[in-house]
Amino acid sequence: MSKDTKHPSDSIDTSPVDDFPERNTTLGDLEHMLRDQQYFSQSYGRPGIKSFVKSPVVVLCSWAAAVCGFLYGYDQGLINVTLIIDDFLNSFPEVNPEQSPRAAFYKGLVAAIFELGAVVGALQSAIFCDRISRRYTIIVAVFWYLVGSALQAGAVNYTMLVFGRLIGGVGVGRASMIAPLYISEIAPPHIRGALYTLQQWMLILGIVSAYYTTYGARHISGHWSWRTAFVAQMLPGTVLLGIVLVLPFSPRWLGIKGRDQECLETLSKLRCLPESDARIQAEWINIRCDILLQQRLNGRWREHSTGGSSFWQQCKVEGRKWGNCVSSRYIKRIYIGIVLNAFQQWVGVNGFTYYSTTLFAQLGYDYEQRLTLSGLLSIVQLIGSTVPVFIIDRIGRRPLLLFGTFMLMSCHIINSVIVGISYTDWPGHQASAKAGTAFMFLFMFFFETSWGPIAWGLPSEILPSIVRAEGMALSTASNWLSNFVVGLIVPSLVAAAPYGSFALFSCTSLCALIWVFFFVPETKGTSLEGLSLLFKDNVYEEEAAQRNELISELIRTHAPLGQSEK
């Protein structure tokens, strides 16, 4: 391996570049940054609140895109309480245990069909987000979400309710795939982790909002005791629709489309720096270099940069892009994204989120106590999801996942023992019930500091531009498919064996801990283009050599822009 192709994990100076001077670019600046990805990534400064203040535009855009998470969270919080409201049970006897012997299955289907729709939505989004942009894909997602919300609010029978949830799931699946991708593509490397955790924070805010909306509305007489919350979920969708219209296009998407000057202008606006700044120029060239590199390695794939392609040609291009996902060049990265998102569900979070009131019943609490504790649980989630905003870019993704998974496994093991010993006589085991509740709260806190935000965002970091949309679609679909299975089996599992869900998820958490240790890389503080070099696979040397050739080529062609060596 040549001197210029050293791996970024080799020994280099990793101290951030504080107070990098804002000046016109010299060719020396560019070459230093482009040859040393770590130096370039750190040239924007240190992670932390100070960097948020210095990057107001990208922070606001990330907050806006993170509203997609609110849509998903609202549905989670809504269905949790709705499934136990008396008038809802009377309106849909299929989910009423007093009227249907298969109520547990139908109850699970109401929650889980939403995830099945999300699988479809996530997979479809890959085509849309490359073709019409990340921004416009969010608009399409919101349309599906609003139609689904209207059908659920007006449901007159079980079939209509399930169909509405399926349509709404398609919309949320699209949104959950595109939001972390968009945020990662607009974020500077030193605060990228903090910015994509905003989606999870908004997701939990959606859970809290929906929970207390539903909790308050249940006192309304008649059907509006449950319809109110379904109508209210249309409000955040409408707000998001208005916000998206003012968001900038992703600079990486503009680069894919060959709109290089717009890419430069967008980077300048997002970073609040002039176009001539060394960091803006280096990031711009990095994006162009990555796209050109993928074109050389995989054939031209900038399929929409001209408007003359036929339908069948477009289909062939899409087929080739999906085929790249299983090529030796990218399969490891695709695999990490898919398994990471599957484990996010199999560590047991949505078994708690959807059915916390049912699980609290297994710990011996009465109806009102269960509702109060479920609300407090969502607040603990909100607190937990705030923590990684401040530490993820300092500590890193991998340490948070390892420690968090160990804590989740410990909570599951302890609760399976507590419930197994005490469930036949909760009045005589009040101390055990309180201890079990405490460990459920601890579980939610540590999940939100680790798996909650990282599983959504990390795949968008490690995937190169040529398969980023398809890889994110597969990763997100894996999350929702696992969510669907978990949502379907948990009610039956709880009904059959009160301690069964805790025992199952303690085993899956152990598997997740081992897998993270061996497979998940650290991505903090490196540009998206630099992260491609993390994977020293059988094509690493070829890719690194061609990248250096392209960098030299782009640096030479940089002179006509008015820059010169000083």
Q: Average pLDDT for residues 340-360, to the nearest whole number?
A: 78
Instruction: Assess whether pLDDT exceeds 80 at residue 262.
Output: yes
- Tell me, what's the pLDDT at 513? 97
Position 371 scores a pLDDT of 75
Claim to verify: residue 205 and residue 333 sit in the same structural domain: no
Instruction: Please tell me the chain's helix, strand, coil percentages from 3-state DSSP, rounded to the nearest 5.
Output: 75, 0, 25
Q: Both 236 and 341 in a single domain?
A: no
Which among 461, 177, 463, 470 is positioned nearest to 321, based on CA atoms?
Answer: 470
If asked whether residues 59 and 175 sit together in one domain, one would say yes
Query: What is the predicted pLDDT for the residue at 12?
Result: 32
Lowest-confidence segment of 28-42, 165-179, 397-411 by average pLDDT: 28-42
Q: Of the candidates 212, 228, 247, which is a domain's last residue?
A: 247
Average pLDDT over residues 26-51: 74
* Same domain assignment for residues 337 and 220: no
pLDDT score recorded for residue 9: 34
- The per-residue pLDDT for 397 is 96
* Residues 182 and 54 grouped into a single domain: yes
In a domain, 80, yes or no: yes
Rounded average pLDDT over 468-497? 84
Together in a domain, 194 and 331:
no
Is residue 527 scored above 60 in pLDDT? yes
Mean pLDDT for the stretch of residues 102-109: 82
pLDDT tier, 29 (very low <50, low <70, confident <90, very high otherwise):
low
What angle is formed at CA 281 by the lines to CA 198 and CA 301, rounded to 5 degrees? 75
In a domain, residue 530? The reply is: no
What local confidence, expressed as pLDDT, does residue 307 receive?
43
312 inside domain = no
What is the number of structural domains in the chain? Answer: 2
The CA distance from 62 to 42, in Å, is 20
* DSSP state, residue 24: B
User: Per-residue pLDDT tens for 492-501?
Assistant: 777 777 777 8
Question: Is 377 domain-assigned?
Answer: yes
Q: Residue 209: which CATH number?
A: 1.20.1250.20
Contacts of residue 156, defined as CB under 8 A and 6 or more positions apart, other chains included, come to: none
pLDDT at 3 over 50: no
- The verdict on residue 566 lying in a domain is no
Q: What is the mean pLDDT of the chain?
A: 83
| Residue range 478-488: mean pLDDT, rounded | 86
110-122 b/e (C-beta count within 10 Å ≥ 16 → b): bbbbbbbbbbbbb
Question: Has residue 78 got a pLDDT over 50?
Answer: yes
> Is the Cβ–Cβ distance between 451 and 401 less than 8 Å?
yes
Rounded to 5 degrees, what angle do the CA atoms 544, 548, 551 make?
Answer: 135
163-196: burial string, b at 16+ Cβ within 10 Å, e else: bbbbbbbbbbbbbbbbbbbbbbbbbbbbbbbbbb
pLDDT of residue 401 exceeding 50: yes
Do 229 and 328 lie in one domain? The reply is no
The answer to whether residues 235 and 334 belong to one domain is: no
Nearest of 535, 548, 486, 555 to residue 341 by alpha carbon: 486
* Residue 192: pLDDT band with limits 50, 70, 90: very high
**Contact (Cβ atoms closer than 8 angstroms) between residue 162 and residue 92:** no
pLDDT of residue 17: 46
pLDDT above 90 for 372: no
Instruction: Please give the residue that has the higher pLDDT: either 428 or 153.
Output: 153
Higher pLDDT, 387 or 531: 387
Backbone φ and ψ for 248, nearest 5 degrees, come out as -75, 160
Residue 156: how many other CB atoms lie within 10 Å: 10
List all residues 6 or more positions away from 22 whose beta carbon is below 8 Å from its beta carbon. Answer: 273, 274, 277
Whether the pLDDT of residue 213 is over 90: the answer is no
Tokens (6 digits) for 163: 């169909």
Regarding whether 233 and 333 lie in a shared domain, the answer is no
Q: Answer whether residue 564 is part of any domain.
A: no
The answer to whether position 33 is within a domain reads: no
H-type helices in 187-223, by residue range? 192-217
Q: State which residues form the domain around 187.
A: 45-247
Is 278 domain-assigned?
Answer: no
Is residue 328 packed enough to be buried (19+ CB in 10 Å), middle (13-18) or exposed (0-12)? exposed
Tell whether 350 and 481 lie within a shared domain: yes
Predicted confidence at residue 353, as pLDDT, reads 64
69/218 same-domain check: yes
Residue finishing a domain among 210, 229, 247: 247
Taking 80 as the threshold, does the pLDDT of residue 409 lie above it? Answer: yes
State mean pLDDT over 395-403: 96
210, 341: one domain = no
Query: Is the per-residue pLDDT at 531 higher than 60?
Result: yes
